[in-house]
Every structure is written in structure tokens, then in C-alpha cells.
Amino acid sequence: MSRTFLITGASKGIGLALAQRLKRDGHQVVGLARNASPDFPGVLLPVDLADTQATDDALKDLTGRFRFDGVVNNVGLVRPQRLGAVELPALEEVMRVNLHPALQTVQALLPGMTERRWGRIVNISSLTVLGSIERTAYAAAKAALVSFSRSWALELATTGITVNAVSPGPTETELFRANNPPGSDGERRYLAGVPMGRFGQPDEIAAAIAFLLSEEAGFITGQTLHVDGGASIGKAAF
């Protein structure tokens, strides 16, 4: 059955890979992102998701035009700072961008999904929730998305709507590579924490998300799926 899914942060990286996968699977995809993308395989509405009113306006427009079956809250913002240098405005900005659009999208789509008694919500978390230097704000925000997922799953357990989180490890997106080029200290540091000894590919993360959006995942809710090459379980024995 063809479904219609909303993806935030959809113009690149994991969001774009997911949109392309869902399109290949026969679904309709609608995206929200700050910048347009010529490669987006559906309707992409440019919006600054840090702007609460603009986000509300965009969601009102889209829910008037589409019958959504689910949402993937993928948009994220990182402001790396060491503990002694964490600034409250930066902390507030990271929390706002990672959390507010997630709540707004779910609240906008919830009435329709509840009425049809079918829906999928997937929040994109991060391996950093298990501890990472210079990620006080980002890890806290991503941990909150895991908490959102568990609380929402309980509230919606009898409605036909499932809520889960996907927690990617280091993933070879364009942004990641720009910050950690081949042969760099950053690349070596990240690889040292992945037992499989390689980075994830955006489409591998997208595959896990797509499964949680599927009909077959209807008995899975309130869970966090780590897609990280084993990084969340420890270091490999060499």
C-alpha cells in the first residue's frame, strides 16, 4: 500500500536518502528543509525549522494538501562546545531546533493519523546520547527525542500509531566528510569507536527507518534502534 510520509531535514544526508528509498518503494514523500534540493523525489517545502511560526504555517499548508501516514523527525543542529565553554544561547538553540519541530510535526499530523487508526512516527536520535565530548547540548536534545518516543508510544499504544527512534552511528554524509576528510584525525577517532571498522552509509540508516515506517513493523513501538556498526555495544576485540 502506498503511504504519504513527511520528513524534516529532508534536503540532504539521511533525510534525502530516506526520501529516495521511500519513493522507490512506491510511497509519496513530502519534505521540510531550509534549502531546496534538485534531487528530492517529492514535494519539498523550504522552511526554517528554527522559526516556530514559519514551521506552524508550513505544517498547516501541508496538512491541508496531504493525508499523512507518518513523520520522520530528522532535522538536527550541532553546536560543539567543551563543558567550560557551553553558552546558554547555544544550548537553547540546539534544544529548540532538535525538539520543537518534532513536537510541532507530530501535533499537526496526529489528528489525521488518529482518525485513520494508522500512523508511524520515527525520531532520529544519535549515538552521542551514550556519551561524547563537546556534545553537551546535542546529546541532551537527542536523548530527549528518545524520551519523547517512549512517552508518545505509551500514549498512542491503542491508536494504531507506533513511535520509535533510530540512533545512527558515524554516517558518511557530505557534511560528515567535510568535517572528517579521509586520513584525518577525526576519521581515525570515529573509526576507532566502530567495531565494524567502517562508517555507515545514509541508505543503510534509511533502510532501518523505512522498516519502522512499514506495515510489518506494526508491533514495534517505544524502541530505539541503534544503527551504528556495533558502536553502542563496545569496542571490537582485536
Helix (H, G, I), strand (E, B) or coil at 28: strand
Per DSSP (E only), the strands in the chain are: 4-8, 28-33, 43-46, 70-73, 119-124, 161-168, 224-227
- What is the SS3 assignment for 224? strand
Contacts of residue 4, Cβ cutoff 8 Å, sequence gap at least 6 = 27, 28, 29, 30, 66, 67, 68, 69
190 an active-site residue? Answer: no
Is 31 in contact with 6 (CB distance < 8 Å)? yes
Question: Within 13 A of 105's CA, how many CA atoms are on the CB side?
Answer: 32
238 vs 234: CA distance, rounded Å: 12
Which one of 138, 148, 152, 199 is the catalytic residue? 138
Active-site residue set: 138
